[in-house]
């Protein structure tokens, strides 16, 4: 099923609108694409027939899972190309936006991949003062070839010597190291071409913002959310993706609070028996409590929670995330 | 609760069986069952959070005397008692307290398994009325199991004084469960509770018709899992699917294990569960077990809003908090704790020692009478030197044990024990132990036997084993005189200092060895310290006495059995074979012990003992000392040819032995020092070994304990003697 350019545009607009306003109305779509309402209606009927959207006359347009998938892929591609044009080729933003829209319809996957590699290469390797086309080509050859996969280019791709360019408030880590619920921006895709292509196909490109939904491992896939769309990637792939994580002001640990301070439980990091115990004893999200006192060596501590006095070791309190309450 | 007909009911309708001892009840019931095989027994389980008063209610219902204490985790095994009501047999089962049905610690597993596998007819959930929010959490889980439940709103007296008013009718209507207000400590409301429970068992009263609605999303997931579970017909019959599905959503390990083992389509079930969990977690942005917990609490919160109101009677001070402010003060906590322990210790020995002396004089008298009545010979010897010496020796400690436990039960009932653990935990945790280990340690410095019995306060079995294994390394009442005598004989200038040093040595060794055990044999996760600090309560004289009595009778029983046997064996070893008349004629000065088995053993192991500087006399005394440490002195006395019938005056013996030891050229201060270290550590006395077996349930443990202590003691003694010799110290 090949979508026409304009159909692709429609899908993207619908997704944009859904992300912005929660719903996509026909008149909004018409305004955005600068076409008349009837032509939108017509186009929507067609898309609905092909299974991309749910649409019946006069109602909102909703994306089917298939539509969502396609639209999402288109959007991430578009964003990437725009970044590429702006960052690498120094084209001004308006132009880049327009060009990206045109480009994206005509790029094959393999070409797109090259663009991505170039983006990464130029973005990260210039510090070595070796920005020559030769090197760039070599770089591609190496990762494409099956032999000494990526040995030489290790540091250009996903490497272990993080952080490369830690921003002011960002830390670089492998995607596989992220915790559930963490948000991150994709920085680089790793050296293995097969896996890389799969990642790109799923719409995970440099610059894409993701939220980790499920942490994988062993045989379980990672699940990432990007723009409300869910993507699964294998653990191997997660090991090949470098991400930048904004460092937020984390919740405080219960063990960091002082005597007399009140708190609200946020999260329990403990596992196994301790986790169960804490949950059972009432360390439930948003439960309020107070630190009453600590023993001689500041350990253990006494806490009041759910109308009960409980003593905890400091090492156990460290596993509880809290918000301070005044 | 104090309705007039209650008493009438008690007298006319109910005939209690097994008032008094637990075993009695069991025995009588077995008879009853045999006589009337058709009588169906109604089984009622008493469950609830720790320290909610389950055992108090159990005792009130059955007339038993199970141990009650004001800290969580008193009951560690299930106990049952049977009464007969209107000719029907009703069995009550007192369960250890749990916070939820996802059991981790052993005693929680006991409760959970009982409720799950044995399917009691009714569960009485004992709730603390002053903190219903938390206590109803468990009740909701029982409700999911689909077993009929009766809620006992216990501690209603405390709720009254706090001005908490509970509309039990309304609460019952909301939750679909009958509630009864009770006061466990006095037995108030218990008859009504029994009445309601029996009605529920008969189906006269409805209970448990409702399940908590977890909200649309969770219910959808829940139903999907139930559908998956239903595919296996046998599984469907065995478990409450409703409950199983919730447990799966809660990621309960035990439920997952059960599915894997018993469900025919385990893979599908788990797959569907995982998928549903994921969806829920995405929706709520939270772990599924947390979601379920939150929903339960939200539900409880709603139910309580309509039924519980708090009227501030007067702005009373929070007694518990005011006491804790002093007792748990960062700097005062430890000294106060030490003082409390010291006081109990002092009280025990100040009051107990005269009593002990009295008992020992009694036994001496007895042995005199026997000597006078019976003709001299093996029988007289066995009775006086064997049995009376051995059993009597142990019984002399009875007053000490009883008093010690009197003090400790008093502390237990007030609620101070949990505080003591709080104060001591850090220090003990460094050595891999739990704060509560302090209690057995401290008591062991008086006598290891009650010390080891008190190790029951430790709920984790590994902690308990380690504590029991090292507790006898402390200086105890029996080692003290031996050490004191040796110190006086060989280190007269620095007597106090050396004695204190040896005393400390016991503690240090106990800690070090505990750490080694924890790091090697008993590795594993630290048990969480998460522990409730109950409000202080006024101890009831009754339960203190009951507890004390229990311990004392256990102790006496032990003296009558294992110690009796052991003393006969030791007596035999020390007296047989008798020297032949010729040998006596040859060397009349030699005591006859030399020719006994014990003497031979002593001589036999002398070459080994020589490494530590000990000669055969020391060897024999040490062998005899395994029976009881104080015997070391009297054995020395015998070996030096003292007539053992004048042993009435203990200080006289000590003086005599001391004198002999100083004069004996074979003994140097260095050897005496090695000997003291050896005595501190080596094999615990027979009474201790016997109680270890009883507490840990297998001879493996006392055997191991004897072996390791002997090894450590000998290594230490040899090292001290050899190194000291090389350095030329005290030779
Ligand atoms: N004021 C008051 N105290 C009570 C009542 N019921 C029990 N207690 C006290 O509460 C404490 C705990 O009682 P237990 O019966 O040992 O509690 P439990 O539920 O068996 O405890 P565990 O076996 O540790 O789970 C004791 O100090 C009792 O004397 C009551 O109704 N009112
Ligand atoms: Mg109990």
Q: Which pLDDT tens digit goes with each residue over B236-257?
A: 888 888 888 988 888 888 888 8
Contact B413, B443 (CB under 8 A): no
At CA B587, angle to CA B583 and CA B593, rounded to 5? 70
* pLDDT number for residue A129: 40
**Which residues in B have their CB inside 8 Å of a CB on A?**
99-100, 102, 104-105, 130-131, 133-134, 137, 278, 281-282, 285-286, 289-290, 293-294, 297, 320, 324, 328-331, 333-334, 418, 421-423, 425-426, 429, 435, 525, 527-534
Tell me, in angstroms, the distance from the centre of ligand 1 to residue B57's CA.
Answer: 8
Per-residue pLDDT reduced to its tens digit, B503-528: 889 999 999 999 999 888 877 666 77
Determine whether the interchain pair B293/A284 forms a contact, defined as Cβ–Cβ distance below 8 Å.
yes
Q: From chain A, which residues contact B within 8 Å (Cβ)?
A: 181, 213-214, 223, 268, 272-274, 276-282, 284-285, 287, 292-297, 299-300, 302, 306-313, 316
pLDDT at B198: 92
pLDDT at B625 over 80: yes
pLDDT of residue B704: 95
Q: Which residues contact B135 (CB under 8 A, 6 or more apart)?
A: B48, B49, B52, B125, B127, B128
Looking at per-residue pLDDT, the higher value among B25 and B36 belongs to B36
Bridge partners of B686, per DSSP, are: none
d(CA A254, CA A291): 9
Nearest Cα of chain B lies from the Cα of A276 at a distance, in angstroms, of: 8
The residue in chain A having the minimum alpha-carbon distance to the alpha carbon of residue B137 is: A280
pLDDT at A173 over 90: no
Residue-level length of chain B? 731
* Complex ipTM: 0.76
pLDDT (tens digit per residue) in A135-153: 655 666 666 654 454 455 5
Q: What is the DSSP string of A272-287?
A: HHHHHHHHHTT--TT-
Q: What is the B55 CA–ligand 1 centroid distance (Å)?
A: 7
* CA nearest to B218, candidates B141, B155, B280: B280
Tell me the chain A residues in contact with residue B289 when contact means C-beta distances shorter than 8 Å. Answer: 279
What percent of chain B is predicted at pLDDT more than 70? 88
Mark yes or no for CB contact A214/B278 under 8 Å: yes
Please tell me the predicted confidence (pLDDT) of residue A237.
Answer: 86
Q: How many CB atoms lie within 10 A of CB B179?
A: 26
- Structural fold of domain B216-310: Helix Hairpins (1.10.287)
Query: pLDDT of B381-423, one tens digit each?
Result: 788 777 777 777 667 778 877 887 788 788 888 989 889 888 8
Q: Is the CB of B184 under 6 A from ligand 1?
A: yes
B705 lines ligand 1 (CB under 6 A): no
Instruction: Indicate the fold that domain B41-202 takes in CATH.
Output: Rossmann fold (3.40.50)
Residues B422, A295: C-beta atoms closer than 8 Å? yes
Nearest partner of B433 among B517, B499, B346, B310, judged by Cα: B517
CB–CB contact B530 A214 (8 Å): no
Q: Is B185 in the pocket of ligand 1 (CB under 6 A)?
A: yes
More confident residue, A154 or B496: B496
Q: Averaged over B465-477, what is the pLDDT?
A: 90
The reported pLDDT for the residue numbered B60 is 92
Task: Please tell me the number of the ligand nearest to residue B48's CA.
Answer: 1
The response to whether residue B73 sits with its C-beta less than 6 Å from ligand 1 reads yes
3-class DSSP state for residue A252? strand
Buried b (16+ CB within 10 A) or exposed e, B468-487: bbbbbbbbbbbbbbbbbbbb
Task: Write the DSSP symbol of residue B524.
Answer: S
As given in the structure block, the two tokens for residue A307 are: 């109308």
Q: Which residues contact B52 (CB under 8 A, 6 or more apart)?
A: B97, B126, B127, B128, B135, B154, B155
Mean pLDDT of A161-185: 67
CA distance A315 to chain B (A): 10
Q: How close is the Cα of B54 to the center of ligand 2, in Å?
A: 5
Judged against a pLDDT cut of 50, whether residue B165 lies above it is answered with yes
Length of chain A as a residue count: 326
Please determine, for residue B587, whether its predicted confidence score (pLDDT) is greater than 80: no
Residue A184 DSSP class: E
CB contact under 8 A, A295 and B286: no
User: SS3 for B295?
Assistant: helix
Ligand number, closest to the Cα atom of B154: 1
> Contact A295/B285, CB-based, under 8 Å?
no
Please state the atom number of ligand 1 nearest to the C-alpha of residue B543: 29
Asked whether the beta carbons of A124 and A156 are under 8 A apart, the reply is yes
Which of B570, B427, B414, B390 is CA-nearest to residue B510?
Answer: B427
Contact A181 B285 (CB under 8 A): yes
Q: What is the mean pLDDT of chain B?
A: 82
Distance (Å, whole) CA B687 – CA B692: 9
Q: pLDDT above 90 covers what percent of chain B?
A: 19
Identify the pLDDT of residue B127: 95
Mean pLDDT of A269-295: 84
Side by side, which strands form the sheet with A183-189? A170-174, A241-246, A183-189, A209-214, A222-226, A229-233
Write out the two tokens for A214: 């499920």
What mean pLDDT do residues B533-560 have?
82
Q: Report the largest interatomic distance among the alpha carbons of chain B, rounded to a whole angstrom.
A: 101
Q: What does the pLDDT read at residue B9?
A: 39
Q: B403 in helix, strand or coil? A: helix
Mutate to test the pocket of ligand 1, among B50, B51, B112 (most ligand atoms within 8 A of CB): B51
pLDDT in tens, B197-214: 999 988 887 776 667 788
> What are the chain A neighbours of B422 within 8 Å (beta carbons)?
295, 300, 302, 311
Strand, coil or helix: B165: strand
Q: Which residue is associated with the tokens 């850090």?
A: B426
* Whole-angstrom distance, CA of residue A165 vs CA of residue A173: 11
* Angstrom distance (rounded) from CA B381 to CA B170: 75
Please report which helix (H) or strand (E) contains residue B716, including its range.
helix B700-727
Cα separation of A139 and A133, whole Å? 10
Domains in chain A, ordered, with CATH? 5-67 (1.10.10.10), 74-153 (no CATH), 170-246 (2.30.30.90), 252-325 (2.30.30.90)
Helix, strand or coil, per DSSP, at residue A183: strand
CA-based radius of gyration for chain A: 25
Confidence grade of residue B472 (pLDDT, cut at 50, 70, 90): very high
Contact A266, A278 (CB under 8 A): no
- The mean per-residue pLDDT over the stretch A199-206 comes to 84
Contacts of B304 (CB under 8 A, 6+ apart): B132, B133, B136, B171
Provide, rounded to the nearest whole percent, the portion of chain A with pLDDT above 90: 4
CA A206 distance to own-chain centroid = 10
For B8-21, what is each residue's pLDDT tens digit? Answer: 433 433 334 433 33
- Which of A34-38, B244-248, B675-679, B716-720 is least confident? A34-38
pLDDT at B528: 75
Q: How confident is the model over B256-307, as pLDDT tens digits? A: 888 899 888 888 889 889 888 888 877 777 788 888 888 888 889 888 998 9
Query: Span A190-202, mean pLDDT?
Result: 81
Q: What angle do CA B436, B442, B443 make, to 5 degrees?
A: 105
How many interface pairs between A and B have CB atoms less than 8 angstroms apart? 115
pLDDT in tens, B413-452: 898 988 988 888 888 888 888 887 887 887 787 778 878 8
- Which atom, in ligand 1's list, is nearest to the CA of B58? 15
Neighboring chain A residues of B426 at a CB cutoff of 8 Å? 295-297, 299-300
| From B46, B53, B413, mutation site for ligand 1 pocket: most ligand atoms within 8 A of C-beta | B53
Q: For residue A99, what pLDDT is reported?
A: 81
Kind of pairing between the strands at A288-294 and B122-128: unpaired
d(CA B547, CA B410): 9
Contacts of B533 in chain A (CB under 8 A): 302, 309-311
The DSSP-derived string for B424-484 is HHHHHHHTT--GGGHHHHHHHTT-HHHHHHGGGG--SHHHHHHHHHHGGGS--TTHHHHHH
Interface with B, mutate which of A313, A317, A319 (most B CBs under 10 A): A313
């Amino acid at each position: 099923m090949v979508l026409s350019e304009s159909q692709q545009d429609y899908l993207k607009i619908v997704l944009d609108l859904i992300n912005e306003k929660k719903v996509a109305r026909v008149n909004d779509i018409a305004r955005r694409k600068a076409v008349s309402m009837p032509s939108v209606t017509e186009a929507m009927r067609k898309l609905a027939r092909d299974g991309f959207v749910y649409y019946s006359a006069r109602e909102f347009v909703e994306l089917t899972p298939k539509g969502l998938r396609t639209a999402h892929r288109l959007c991430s591609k578009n964003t990437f190309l725009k970044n590429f044009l702006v960052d690498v080729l120094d084209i001004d933003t308006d132009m880049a936006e327009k060009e990206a829209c045109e480009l994206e319809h005509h790029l094959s996957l393999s070409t797109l991949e090259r663009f991505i590699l170039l983006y990464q290469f130029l973005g990260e390797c210039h510090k070595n003062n070796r920005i020559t086309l030769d090197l760039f080509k070599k770089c591609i050859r190496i990762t494409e070839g099956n032999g000494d996969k990526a040995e030489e280019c290790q540091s250009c791709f996903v490497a272990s010597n993080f952080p490369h360019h830690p921003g002011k408030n960002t830390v670089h880590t492998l995607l596989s190291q992220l915790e559930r619920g963490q948000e991150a921006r994709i920085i680089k895709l790793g050296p293995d071409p097969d896996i890389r292509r799969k990642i790109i196909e799923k719409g995970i490109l440099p610059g894409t913002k993701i939220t980790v939904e499920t942490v994988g491992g062993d045989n379980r896939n990672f699940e990432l959310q990007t723009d409300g769309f869910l993507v699964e990637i294998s653990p191997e792939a997660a090991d090949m993706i470098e991400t930048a994580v904004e460092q937020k002001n984390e919740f405080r640990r219960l063990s960091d609070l002082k005597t007399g301070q009140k708190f609200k439980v946020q999260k329990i990091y403990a596992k196994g028996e301790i986790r169960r115990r804490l949950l059972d004893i009432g360390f439930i999200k948003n439960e309020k409590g107070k630190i009453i006192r600590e023993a001689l060596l500041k350990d253990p501590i006494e806490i009041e929670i759910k109308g009960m006095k409980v003593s905890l070791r400091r090492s156990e309190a460290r596993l509880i995330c809290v918000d301070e309450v005044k | 609760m104090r309705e007039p007909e209650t008493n009438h009911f008690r007298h006319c309708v109910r005939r209690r069986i097994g008032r008094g001892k637990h075993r009695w009840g069991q025995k009588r019931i077995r008879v009853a069952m045999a006589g009337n095989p058709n009588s169906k027994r109604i089984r009622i389980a008493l469950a609830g959070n720790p320290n909610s008063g389950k055992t108090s209610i159990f005792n009130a219902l059955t007339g038993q005397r199970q141990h009650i204490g004001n800290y969580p985790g008193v009951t560690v095994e299930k106990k049952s008692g049977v009464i007969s009501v209107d000719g029907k047999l009703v069995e009550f089962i007192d369960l250890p307290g749990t916070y939820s049905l996802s059991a981790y610690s052993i005693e929680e597993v006991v409760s959970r398994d009982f409720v799950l596998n044995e399917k009691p007819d009714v569960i009485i959930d004992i709730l603390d009325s002053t903190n219903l929010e938390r206590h109803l959490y468990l009740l909701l889980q029982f409700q999911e199991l689909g077993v009929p439940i009766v809620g006992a709103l216990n501690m209603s007296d405390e709720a009254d004084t706090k001005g908490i008013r509970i509309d039990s009718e309304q609460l019952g209507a909301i939750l679909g469960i009958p509630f009864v207000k009770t006061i466990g400590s006095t037995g108030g409301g218990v008859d009504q509770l029994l009445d309601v429970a029996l009605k529920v068992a008969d189906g006269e009263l409805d209970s448990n018709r409702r399940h908590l609605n977890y909200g649309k999303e969770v219910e959808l997931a829940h139903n999907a899992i139930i559908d998956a579970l239903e595919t296996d017909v046998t599984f469907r019959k065995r478990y409450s699917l409703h409950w199983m599905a919730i447990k799966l959503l809660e990621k309960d390990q035990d439920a997952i294990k059960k599915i894997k083992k018993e469900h025919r389509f385990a893979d599908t079930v788990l797959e569907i569960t995982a998928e549903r969990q994921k969806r829920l977690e995405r929706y709520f942005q939270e772990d599924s077990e947390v979601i379920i917990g939150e929903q339960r609490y939200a539900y409880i919160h709603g139910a309580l809003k309509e039924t519980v109101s708090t009227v501030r009677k007067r702005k009373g001070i929070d007694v518990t908090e005011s006491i804790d402010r002093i007792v748990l003060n960062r700097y005062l906590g430890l000294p106060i704790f030490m003082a409390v322990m010291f006081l109990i210790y002092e009280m025990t020995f100040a009051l107990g020692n005269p009593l002990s002396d009295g008992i020992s004089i009694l036994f001496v008298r007895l042995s005199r009478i026997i000597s006078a009545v019976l003709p001299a010979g093996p029988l007289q010897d066995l009775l006086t030197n064997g049995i009376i010496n051995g059993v009597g020796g142990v019984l002399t400690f009875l007053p000490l044990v009883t008093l010690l436990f009197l003090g400790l039960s008093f502390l237990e009932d007030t609620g101070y024990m949990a505080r003591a653990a709080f104060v001591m935990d850090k220090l003990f945790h460094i050595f891999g132990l739990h704060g509560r280990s302090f209690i057995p340690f401290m008591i062991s410095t008086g006598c290891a036997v009650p010390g080891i019995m008190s190790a029951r306060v430790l709920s984790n079995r590994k902690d308990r084993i380690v504590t029991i294994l090292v507790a006898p390394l402390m200086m105890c009442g029996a080692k003290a005189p031996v050490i004191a005598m040796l110190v006086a004989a060989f280190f007269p200038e620095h007597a106090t200092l050396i004695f204190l040093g040896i005393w400390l040595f016991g503690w240090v060794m106990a800690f070090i060895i505990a750490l080694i055990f924890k790091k090697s044999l008993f590795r594993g996760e630290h048990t969480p310290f998460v522990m409730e600090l109950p409000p202080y309560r006024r101890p009831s004289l009754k339960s203190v006495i009951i507890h004390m009595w229990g311990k004392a009778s256990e102790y006496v029983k032990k003296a009558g059995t294992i110690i009796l046997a052991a003393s006969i064996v030791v007596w035999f070893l020390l007296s047989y074979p008798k020297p032949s008349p010729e040998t006596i004629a040859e060397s009349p000065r030699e005591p006859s012990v030399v020719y006994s088995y014990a003497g031979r053993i002593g001589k036999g192991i002398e070459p080994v003992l020589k490494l530590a500087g000990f000669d055969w006399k020391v060897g024999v005394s040490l062998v005899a000392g395994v029976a009881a440490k104080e015997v070391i002195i009297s054995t020395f006395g015998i070996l030096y040819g003292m007539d053992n019938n004048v042993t009435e005056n203990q200080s006289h013996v000590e003086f005599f032995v001391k004198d002999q030891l100083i004069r004996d050229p074979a003994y140097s201060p260095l050897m005496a020092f090695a000997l003291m270290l050896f005595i501190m550590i080596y094999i615990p006395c027979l009474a201790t070994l016997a109680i270890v077996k009883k507490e840990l349930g297998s001879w493996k443990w006392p055997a191991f304990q004897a072996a390791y202590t002997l090894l450590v003691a000998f290594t230490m003694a040899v090292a001290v003697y050899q190194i000291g010799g090389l350095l030329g110290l005290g030779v």
